[in-house]
Amino acid sequence: MSRPGEREAATRAPAAAAPKQNMIGAAIERREDYRLLTGQGEFLDDLDMPDALEAAFLRSDLGHARILGIDTSAALELPGVVAVFTGDDIRPMMKPMPAKVAHPALQEMPRLPMALDEVHYVGEPVAVIIATSRYIAEDALELIEIDYEDLPAISSTAAALAPGAPLAHLGARDNIAVHVVQRAGDPDAALAAAPHVLSGTFAITRSGGHSIECRAVAARYDTVTRQLVVWDSTQAPHYARNALASLYDMQEDDIRLIAPRDVGGGFGPKAQFYGEEAVIGWVAMQLRRPVKWIEDRRENFISAMMERTQTHRIKVAFDDDGTLIAMKDVFEHDQGAYVAGLQVPMITLSTVPGQYKIPHIHTELYSCYTNMVPTSSVRGAGRPQAVAAMERMMDRIAEYLGLDPAEVRRRNLIQPDEFPYKVGIMFRDGSPLTYDSGNYPELLAGTLERLDYDGWRRRQGELRAEGRLIGIGIACYVEGCGLGPYEGAKARLTNRGEVLVTLAAAPQGQGYETVYAQIASDALGLDMDYIRVTTGDTGRIPFGQGTFASRITATAGPAVLQACQALRARIFATAAIMLKVEADNFVFRGERVCLAEDESISVTLREVTQVANVGKHGITLLRGVTAGLETQAYFAPERAAYASGAHAAVVEVDPETGRVTVLKYVIGHDCGTVINPLLADGQVLGGFAAGIGNALYEEQFYDEAAQPQTTSYLDFSLPSSMEVPPVELFHIQSPSPLNPLGAKGAGEGGTIPAPAAIANATEDALRSFGARINEMPVTPPRVAAAIAGRAPAAR
């Protein structure tokens, strides 16, 4: 993927990693692979729980309705059914699950573990059946009778905001969850005085995370230790544990929440907390029997959180040479039926300005309640929409002034010597939006060079003469990543003479067992063979936040680095006392801790652990040795780090069918220090596949009664190998000054600008028709409508 020079750059170790093992930056193959390739993975439903009962949820089949009565008696009589619980049956823990990211102005409607009196979307849990098998539990679902009073449902932000609209929640003031404005400079005056102002309206629709493993939860209450153990296919085990402790009113140590070693993809929806998680743990405690719920794909379509639907009305002001003066973007965000968190629209609010210097900024959010599945982060998390709004306008400015769109971007890019760059508004982490480092001109230039931008611009005209519609699209972005508050790690010398690194964070395919062993290896100066990594278990480390927002490398990475540096010092201090030497200059040679100047003077790691950890009952510890070779570090970044990138696409449009084919695609990516180039490439290329889905295929439809129309992969397109085009990827590395690794995040950069780049390319291909692409994904019907001049503005 990358060129030799870049690989070289990628192997440069950062300044802070003291002893050089040179594992940071090395393309190490993964430790996780063997078990996954041989069918020995440990996904939740693979765990051996022969005595577990199985759960199935009865879900609302109406978008908005009042529950008048529920009759579960027939279901209870079915052989094999052990219990049925409705919302009313679990009242002691029926407390609202608060929004994870809130705002003082938020009109928060209570989100309960199961519905009580009113349902607000198709798929909302209403009751749960516990049976001896999932087959029987599903049989019993059909025996529950619910008496509903159908209510008007809201199925779009436009419907939510229409004058006199019915309410998505009967008790609400209106359908606006929150209205937030961010401003820098004097945007109104600047817009009024500017020589040129253009406006555009752009919309992007819902898709989902679509991890191939759906959600899954199992719970067992240990009546002896009085501890509830929950296995949860989650991105955020500590967050889920805290939520359960709060709902159940239990002490945090009395709940052990384990994200299984293998979780089959996350992509955002598994970082949220759901009613099903609360119900399964509660039911296991009530029944004193283990209970397991494995979500099926239809449930995932109608109850796992989704994202994307926004409509942006954006204005840009600029001078005669295309220099930006002001930007004003007012957007509607589809929050769905409940606010599980405001992170997505809050991220959008601050992502619109992107890589450009804009003196006067106004971004404004109307987050709307609708009667659809609640929305929250899906890979990209509010950024693809923001980038689409801004980058589409950059192309419109170029078109208006008769300039090359690459040149318009170049004239407005923040320059490498302008970091740290203060944008003038706030980021969602509560700090002033400040870009830490980057080199945007180099990213753009490298991307265009690899695309052969000038060559394609020439060929575009020649091919147009042959009747072929070729378009070129560019999109640049920044991604706030590595967010706080903190992430933690422990390092311990075990009884077997190995270093065990315990991360609070849990992986879903990112290769933590490999990546954090690499970081630990460099921090310790110890061969990776003596290092093991364990993840995602609240019983092993008390505090953590979770895997989301491309944050773990930049937060858990430094925590591992610091914990292991401290452990190295502790091991060496112990060795010095054991060897009765004054020296503090040691090295590891295999499992031996050796005096640097004379390596024949050494002790083994096992001997060290025998002295400092295992000890001898009743015998005094060697003078000077501190017992317990375990260290921990919690790394709290000062603020978000900013990854960045540029995407460029060449597409061909078939005017007959409206089909868009990607001919060439280049990604320039800067996530700071690359820890493992093999895995970093994997993150970006995987993210790109999701971006192609967002750009061209994925669309969750609801009808006007808020009935979902896409509830299987027969009516929803997820990109296969036929749809994801080849891509050329290169990295530049602008280390972040905000953490000792210089790391940023790599999980979402492949996704974020793809819809903007593809939409720009498509509109470019259709420029001679004057066609406007205002809605994403850019599906054949939308392209055909644009060519026919029937697609004036987004909804």
Partner 1 sequence: MNPEASEEAATQVRVTVNGREHRAITDVRTTLADFLRHKLGLTGTHLGCEHGVCGACTILLDGAAVRSCLMLAVQADGASIETVEGLAEGGQLSPLQAAFHRNHALQCGFCTAGFLMSITAALREGPVETDEHAREVLSGNICRCTGYAAMIKAVLETSMQLHGTRAAS
Amino acid at 587: V
Tell me which stretch binds partner 1 (CB under 8 A): 29-37, 171-179, 369-377, 449-457.
29-37
Indicate whether 663 belongs to the interface with partner 1 (CB under 8 A).
no
Report yes or no: 119 and 62 within 8 Å, Cβ to Cβ: yes
Taking the least distance from each CB to partner 1, the nearer of 488 and 511 is 511
Helix axes 275-287, 237-248, angle to 10 degrees: 60
Taking the least distance from each CB to partner 1, the nearer of 220 and 392 is 220
Indicate whether 546 belongs to the interface with partner 1 (CB under 8 A).
no
Report yes or no: 689 and 726 within 8 Å, Cβ to Cβ: no
Site size for partner 1, by CB under 8 A?
Answer: 64
Q: How, if at all, do strands 145-150 and 360-369 pair?
A: unpaired
Indicate whether 750 belongs to the interface with partner 1 (CB under 8 A).
yes
- Bond prior to 237 in cis (omega within 30° of 0): no
CB of 526 to partner 1, least distance (A): 24
Indicate whether 664 belongs to the interface with partner 1 (CB under 8 A).
no
Indicate whether 51 belongs to the interface with partner 1 (CB under 8 A).
no
Note the Cα 252 to chain centre separation in Å. Answer: 26
Which of 8, 29, 145, 462 binds partner 1 (CB under 8 A)? It is: 29
Q: What angle do CA 139, 140, 142 make, to 5 degrees?
A: 80
Indicate whether 264 belongs to the interface with partner 1 (CB under 8 A).
yes
Question: Residue 669 and residue 138: Cα distance in Å, rounded?
Answer: 47
| Nearest residue to 73 (alpha-carbon basis) of 4, 132, 146 | 146
Indicate whether 297 belongs to the interface with partner 1 (CB under 8 A).
yes
Which of 724, 746, 759, 785 binds partner 1 (CB under 8 A)? It is: 724
DSSP 187-248: HHHHHHH-SEEEEEEEEE--EE---SS--EEEEEEETTTTEEEEEE--S-HHHHHHHHHHHH
Taking the least distance from each CB to partner 1, the nearer of 276 and 332 is 276
Which of 686, 708, 755, 777 binds partner 1 (CB under 8 A)? It is: 686
Taking the least distance from each CB to partner 1, the nearer of 46 and 364 is 46
Indicate whether 718 belongs to the interface with partner 1 (CB under 8 A).
yes
Which of 8, 33, 145, 638 binds partner 1 (CB under 8 A)? It is: 33
Taking the least distance from each CB to partner 1, the nearer of 510 and 574 is 510
Taking the least distance from each CB to partner 1, the nearer of 214 and 326 is 214
Question: Residue 50 and residue 194: Cα distance in Å, rounded?
Answer: 71
Task: Count each helix (H run) and each strand (E run) in the chain, helices first.
Answer: 20, 31
Report yes or no: 439 and 670 within 8 Å, Cβ to Cβ: yes
Question: Residue 571 and residue 704: Cα distance in Å, rounded?
Answer: 66
Tell me which stretch binds partner 1 (CB under 8 A): 239-247, 414-422, 722-730, 787-795.
722-730
Which of 143, 190, 284, 576 binds partner 1 (CB under 8 A)? It is: 143
Indicate whether 32 belongs to the interface with partner 1 (CB under 8 A).
yes
Which of 150, 188, 253, 296 binds partner 1 (CB under 8 A)? It is: 296
Which of 191, 263, 372, 758 binds partner 1 (CB under 8 A)? It is: 263
Question: Residue 443 and residue 437: Cα distance in Å, rounded?
Answer: 13
Residue 775, CB-side half-sphere exposure with 13 Å CA sphere: 20
Report yes or no: 354 and 391 within 8 Å, Cβ to Cβ: yes
Which of 59, 111, 206, 210 binds partner 1 (CB under 8 A)? It is: 210
Tell me which stretch binds partner 1 (CB under 8 A): 6-14, 165-173, 212-220, 330-338.
212-220
Question: Residue 554 and residue 458: Cα distance in Å, rounded?
Answer: 42
CB of 607 to partner 1, least distance (A): 32
Indicate whether 446 belongs to the interface with partner 1 (CB under 8 A).
no
Residue 755, CB-side half-sphere exposure with 13 Å CA sphere: 33
Indicate whether 292 belongs to the interface with partner 1 (CB under 8 A).
no
Indicate whether 25 belongs to the interface with partner 1 (CB under 8 A).
no
Taking the least distance from each CB to partner 1, the nearer of 74 and 705 is 74
Tell me which stretch binds partner 1 (CB under 8 A): 145-153, 308-316, 399-407, 708-716.
708-716
Which of 36, 116, 403, 566 binds partner 1 (CB under 8 A)? It is: 36
Give residue for tokens 């029937």: 790
| Nearest residue to 630 (alpha-carbon basis) of 765, 540, 698 | 540
Tell me which stretch binds partner 1 (CB under 8 A): 256-264, 494-502, 516-524, 631-639.
256-264
Tell me which stretch binds partner 1 (CB under 8 A): 32-40, 109-117, 153-161, 180-188.
32-40
Report yes or no: 284 and 219 within 8 Å, Cβ to Cβ: yes
CB of 286 to partner 1, least distance (A): 23
Indicate whether 98 belongs to the interface with partner 1 (CB under 8 A).
no
Taking the least distance from each CB to partner 1, the nearer of 265 and 755 is 265
Question: Residue 81 and residue 275: Cα distance in Å, rounded?
Answer: 21
Six-digit token string for 523:
């921090």
**DSSP SS3 for 225:** coil
Taking the least distance from each CB to partner 1, the nearer of 43 and 486 is 43
CB of 212 to partner 1, least distance (A): 4
Report yes or no: 224 and 468 within 8 Å, Cβ to Cβ: no
| Subset of 55-94 contacting partner 1 (CB under 8 A) | 74, 77-80
Six-digit token string for 662:
């990607």
**DSSP SS3 for 140:** helix
Give residue for tokens 């170049």: 410
Indicate whether 694 belongs to the interface with partner 1 (CB under 8 A).
no
Report yes or no: 238 and 546 within 8 Å, Cβ to Cβ: yes
Indicate whether 511 belongs to the interface with partner 1 (CB under 8 A).
yes
Indicate whether 139 belongs to the interface with partner 1 (CB under 8 A).
yes
CB of 698 to partner 1, least distance (A): 11
Tell me which stretch binds partner 1 (CB under 8 A): 30-38, 396-404, 483-491, 655-663.
30-38
Q: How, if at all, do strands 291-294 and 53-59 pair?
A: parallel
Residues, the chain, total?
795
Indicate whether 745 belongs to the interface with partner 1 (CB under 8 A).
no
- Bond prior to 781 in cis (omega within 30° of 0): no
Phi, psi (deg, nearest 5) at residue 651? -125, 160
CB of 74 to partner 1, least distance (A): 7
CB of 497 to partner 1, least distance (A): 25
Six-digit token string for 78:
């079915």
Question: Residue 694 and residue 709: Cα distance in Å, rounded?
Answer: 18
Question: Residue 678 and residue 30: Cα distance in Å, rounded?
Answer: 9
Taking the least distance from each CB to partner 1, the nearer of 43 and 400 is 43
Q: Which residues bind partner 1 (CB under 8 A)?
A: 29-30, 32-34, 36-41, 43, 45-46, 48, 74, 77-80, 135-136, 139-140, 142-143, 209-214, 262-265, 267, 296-297, 508-511, 678-679, 681-682, 685-690, 712-714, 718, 720-722, 724, 726-727, 750
